[in-house]
Amino acid sequence: KLVFADGGGYSIVDNATETTVASGAFDPADRTLRYGNWKVTMGGVPSNGDTFVIKPNEDPRGDNRMAAAIARIQDRKDLLGTGQTIQQEYENIVDRVGALAVQAEIGRDATRTVKDHAREARERVSGVNLDEELADLLRYQQAYQANAQVIQAASRIFDALLQRL
């Protein structure tokens, strides 16, 4: 650990034995401490009694161990209890969803066909066929239009006769 004392001095203390292995004066202009292969740069100026414990990272947060462990999850076959990897399980789910979608489409088409047949049967029994009724309405409309033209022509002829008399 790194312990700062009065007057800008510091000591490097072995964590296991609590013995001082090095000491020196802290230079506020440089703010860098060196010991063996270690180099520590301070972000500010330490105060008397400030202590920094320097030890290996025992917590996986902050390095790539967690990311590597997460990446390895995709290859594990014991995770879901099916003996397959997550990718294989995902592919199975996509296959099942696709098959269910096809079944739903077939069911929809079959239901639509049954509905159409039921409507046709009802129309045959009730004596009302919408297609035939529409054709009859169009025929009546044309007949009325033709009769209206005959009446208009007769009215003009009658008016012309009255004017000559």
Q: pLDDT at position 73, please?
A: 85
CA distance 71 to 69: 5
Q: pLDDT at position 61, please?
A: 66
Within 13 A of 97's CA, how many CA atoms are on the CB side? 6
Structural Rg of the chain based on CA atoms:
48
Question: What percent of the chain is predicted at pLDDT more than 70?
Answer: 96
CB contact at 8 A, 9 and 25: yes
In this structure, of 61-75, 85-99, 102-116, 144-158, the range with the lowest mean pLDDT score is 61-75
CA distance 34 to 30: 11
> Whole-number mean pLDDT of the chain?
86
CB contact at 8 A, 2 and 51: yes
pTM of the model: 0.36
CB contact at 8 A, 79 and 87: no
The number of beta carbons lying within 10 Å of the beta carbon of residue 33 is 19
CA distance 51 to 36: 19
Residue 54: pLDDT band with limits 50, 70, 90: confident
Q: Greater confidence, 62 or 112?
A: 112
Inform me whether the pLDDT recorded for 12 exceeds 70.
yes
CB contact at 8 A, 64 and 58: no
Q: Quick one: average pLDDT of 116-129? A: 80
Q: pLDDT at position 76, please?
A: 84
Q: pLDDT at position 60, please?
A: 61
Q: Greater confidence, 154 or 122?
A: 154
